[in-house]
Chains A and B, each alone.
Chain A
Amino acid sequence: MNIVVLVKQVPDTATERKLSAADSTLDRASADGVINELDEYAIEEGLRLKEAHGGEVTILTMGPDQASDSIRKALSMGADKAVHLVDDALHGSDAVQTSYALAQVLKKIGFDLAVLGSESTDARTGVLAAALAERLGVPQLSLASKVEIDGSTVRIQRITDYGYDRVEGSLPAVLSVVEKINEPRYPSFKGIMAAKKKPVEKLSLADAGIDPALVGLAGATTQVVDFADAPPREAGTVVKDEGDGGAKLAEFLAAKKFV
Chain B
Amino acid sequence: MGEILVLVDHIDGEVKKAGLELLTLARSLGEPSAVWIGEGLDAGRPVLAEHGAAKVYAADAALNEYVTAPRAELLARLVADKAPAAVLVSATPENKEVAGRLAVRLGSGVLTDVVAVDADLVAEHSIFGGAMRSRSKVASGTPVIAVRPNSVAVQPSPAAAEVEQVAVELSEAAKGARVLERVVQEKGERPELTEAGIVVSGGRGVGNAENFAVIERLADSLGAAVGASRAATDAGWYPHAFQVGQTGKTVAPQLYVAVGISGAIQHRAGMQTSKTIVAVNKDAEAPIFDLVDYGVVGDLFQVVPQLTEEIEKRK
Nearest-neighbour CB distance to chain A for B132, whole angstroms, equals 6
- Closest chain A residue, CB of each to CB of B198: A258
For B314, what are the chain A residues with a Cβ–Cβ distance below 8 Å? 250, 254, 259
- CB contact under 8 A between A167 and B179, given known A130-B98, A246-B305: yes
- CB contact under 8 A between A253 and B311, given known A134-B105, A220-B139, A224-B134: yes
| Docked CA distance A230–B230 (Å) | 26
Pick from A54-62, A69-77, A202-210, A231-239 the stretch touching chain B: A231-239
Pick from B25-33, B77-85, B156-164, B288-296 the stretch touching chain A: B288-296
Contact of A160 among B94, B177, B194, B294 (CB under 8 A): B94
Q: Is the CB of B131 within 8 A of A250?
A: no
Nearest-neighbour CB distance to chain A for B172, whole angstroms, equals 8
Q: Is A52 an interface residue (CB 8 A)?
A: no
Contact string against A for B residues 125-138, beta-carbon threshold 8 Å, 1 for contact and 0 otherwise: 01111111111111
Nearest-neighbour CB distance to chain A for B70, whole angstroms, equals 11
Q: Is the CB of B293 within 8 A of A168?
A: no
- CB contact under 8 A between A168 and B69, given known A162-B241, A222-B137: no
Q: Is B44 an interface residue (CB 8 A)?
A: no
Nearest-neighbour CB distance to chain B for A161, whole angstroms, equals 6
Nearest-neighbour CB distance to chain B for A235, whole angstroms, equals 9
For A95, what are the chain B residues with a Cβ–Cβ distance below 8 Å? 100, 103, 110, 112
- Closest chain B residue, CB of each to CB of A97: B109
Contact of B186 among A124, A129, A161 (CB under 8 A): A161
> Which B residues from 37 to 84 make CB contacts under 8 A with A?
67-69, 72
- CB contact under 8 A between A246 and B173, given known A130-B101, A131-B101, A230-B131: no
Instruction: Among A121, A129, A139, A246, find the residue whose CB has the most chain B CB atoms closer than 10 A.
Output: A246
Q: Is the CB of B298 within 8 A of A131?
A: no
Contact string against A for B residues 235-251, beta-carbon threshold 8 Å, 1 for contact and 0 otherwise: 00001110000110100
For A118, what are the chain B residues with a Cβ–Cβ distance below 8 Å? 93, 247
For B291, what are the chain A residues with a Cβ–Cβ distance below 8 Å? 233, 236
Nearest-neighbour CB distance to chain B for A139, whole angstroms, equals 3
Q: Is the CB of A178 within 8 A of B97?
A: no
Q: Is B153 an interface residue (CB 8 A)?
A: no
Contact string against B for A residues 178-191, beta-carbon threshold 8 Å, 1 for contact and 0 otherwise: 11100000000000
For A251, what are the chain B residues with a Cβ–Cβ distance below 8 Å? 310
| Docked CA distance A229–B130 (Å) | 9
Q: Is the CB of A19 within 8 A of B134?
A: yes
Nearest-neighbour CB distance to chain B for A41, whole angstroms, equals 9
Contact of B110 among A139, A222, A224 (CB under 8 A): A222
Contact of A127 among B97, B107, B108 (CB under 8 A): B97
> Which A residues from 129 to 171 make CB contacts under 8 A with B?
129-131, 133-135, 137-143, 145, 155, 158-170
- CB contact under 8 A between A167 and B67, given known A245-B296, A245-B306: yes
Q: Is the CB of A159 within 8 A of B131?
A: no
For B284, what are the chain A residues with a Cβ–Cβ distance below 8 Å? 238, 240
Q: Is the CB of B108 within 8 A of A253?
A: no
- CB contact under 8 A between A258 and B240, given known A241-B297, A253-B311: no
What class of interface size applies to chain B in its complex with A? Answer: 35 or more
Q: Is the CB of A230 within 8 A of B130?
A: yes
Instruction: Among B101, B133, B140, B255, find the residue whose CB has the most chain A CB atoms closer than 10 A.
Output: B101
- Closest chain A residue, CB of each to CB of B100: A127
Tell me if B's interface is mostly helix, strand, loop or mixed: mixed
| Docked CA distance A118–B176 (Å) | 19
For B108, what are the chain A residues with a Cβ–Cβ distance below 8 Å? 96, 221
Q: Is B167 an interface residue (CB 8 A)?
A: no
Q: Is B166 an interface residue (CB 8 A)?
A: no
Q: Is the CB of A131 within 8 A of B103?
A: yes
Nearest-neighbour CB distance to chain A for B67, whole angstroms, equals 5
Q: Is the CB of A127 within 8 A of B178?
A: no
Contact string against B for A residues 6-19, beta-carbon threshold 8 Å, 1 for contact and 0 otherwise: 00000001101101
For A180, what are the chain B residues with a Cβ–Cβ distance below 8 Å? 234, 240
For B67, what are the chain A residues with a Cβ–Cβ distance below 8 Å? 139-142, 158, 165, 167
| Docked CA distance A141–B177 (Å) | 6
Q: Is B183 an interface residue (CB 8 A)?
A: yes
Q: Is B278 an interface residue (CB 8 A)?
A: yes
For A170, what are the chain B residues with a Cβ–Cβ distance below 8 Å? 176
- Closest chain B residue, CB of each to CB of A220: B139
Nearest-neighbour CB distance to chain A for B127, whole angstroms, equals 8
Q: Is the CB of A241 within 8 A of B298?
A: yes
Q: Is the CB of B276 within 8 A of A241?
A: no
Which B residues are within 8 Å of any A CB, using their own CB?
Answer: 67-69, 72, 92-94, 96-101, 103-105, 107-113, 122, 126-141, 173, 176-186, 194, 198, 222, 230, 234, 239-241, 246-247, 249, 254-255, 265-266, 276-278, 280, 284, 289, 291-299, 302-311, 314-315
17 A-B pairs besides A167-B178, A253-B222 with CB distance below 8 A are: A17-B128, A99-B100, A99-B104, A125-B100, A126-B96, A126-B97, A134-B69, A134-B104, A139-B67, A160-B241, A180-B240, A224-B134, A225-B134, A230-B131, A238-B284, A240-B297, A256-B276
- List 18 interface pairs A-B (beta carbons < 8 Å), by A numbering: A125-B100, A127-B100, A133-B177, A137-B173, A138-B173, A140-B176, A140-B177, A167-B179, A221-B109, A224-B135, A236-B295, A241-B302, A246-B302, A247-B310, A250-B306, A250-B310, A256-B276, A259-B315
